[in-house]
């Protein structure tokens, strides 16, 4: 039952990270005279924020189901699939950020007050380090997680694909709030106006999508392995003699 509390705690931490980032972005828009509506639309279009928002919903639903259905019954597909759906993106967020973006300066680093700089750092670490580590632990150790059938793999890969399509289309339609360009892409490696053009952006898109498919397959494989192992233990348990003193 304690996993339900851990999941609620992780959801609360994720929400605090989104709130911290929201405050930072409002401060940036106000301080730099940018259009607040565009800044916030961009913020809530970030893969990090979309995925974290979905993960908060999945964690809360899973925790609520567990509290309402105490026991050893495995989670229903309606709980297990959303949990797997957000696990892949959150894990990849941690990998991509720490491999590609950790050394990229924050947009709000210059001119921040100490408090805003602290909130910015808090949001980044919570959403790209703490939450991915939690989901990794949940994947391997949370009790009652259900193994998913292989037909769910396209579902797991479908969400990031939809986000990529949305982002690449929207990028040409939205100007950078700073006025530097008439386009806006949330991550520099997706910007087709960079040195590598669409070729470079396309390579990153292909690599990221392949990573999602690979991570999704890994999530399914781990879940199925854990379920088979649990079933073996449950089958063996009644055969173990009980000695009464």
**Whats the size of the chain, residue-wise?**
245
- Angstrom distance (rounded) from CA 49 to CA 58: 14
Tell me the domain boundaries of the chain. Answer: 2-239
Give pLDDT tens digits for 71-117.
778 899 999 999 999 999 999 989 878 877 777 665 545 677 888 98
CA separation for the pair 86, 54 (Å, rounded): 7
Check residues 26 and 241 and name the one with the higher pLDDT.
26
DSSP secondary structure letter of residue 176: -
Instruction: Assess contact for 88 and 155: CB atoms under 8 A.
Output: no
Average pLDDT taken over every residue of the chain: 89
The answer, as to whether pTM is greater than 0.85, is yes
- List, for residues 175-203, the tens digit of each pLDDT value: 999 889 999 999 888 999 988 899 999 99
């Amino acid at each position: 039952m304690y996993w339900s509390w851990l999941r609620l705690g992780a959801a609360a931490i994720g929400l605090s990270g989104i709130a911290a980032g929201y405050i930072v972005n409002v401060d940036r828009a106000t301080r730099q005279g940018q259009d607040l509506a565009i800044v916030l639309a961009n913020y809530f279009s970030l893969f990090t924020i979309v995925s974290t928002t979905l993960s908060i919903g999945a964690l809360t639903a899973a925790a609520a189901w567990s509290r309402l259905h105490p026991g050893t019954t495995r989670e229903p597909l309606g709980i297990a699939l959303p949990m797997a759906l957000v696990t892949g993106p959150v894990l990849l967020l941690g990998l991509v950020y720490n491999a590609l973006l950790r050394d990229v300066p924050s947009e709000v680093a210059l001119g921040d007050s100490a408090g805003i700089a602290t909130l910015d750092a808090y949001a980044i670490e919570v959403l790209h380090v703490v939450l991915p580590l939690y989901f990794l632990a949940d994947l391997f150790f949370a009790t009652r997680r259900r193994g998913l059938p292989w037909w769910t793999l396209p579902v797991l890969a479908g969400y990031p694909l939809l986000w990529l399509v949305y982002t690449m289309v929207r990028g040409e339609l939205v100007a950078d709030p700073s006025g530097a360009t008439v386009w806006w892409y949330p991550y520099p490696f997706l910007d087709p106006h960079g040195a590598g053009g669409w070729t470079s952006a396309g390579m990153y898109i292909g690599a990221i999508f392949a990573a999602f498919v690979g991570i999704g397959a890994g999530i399914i494989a781990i879940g199925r392995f854990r379920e088979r192992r649990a079933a073996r233990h449950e089958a063996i348990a009644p055969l173990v003699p009980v000695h009464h003193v």
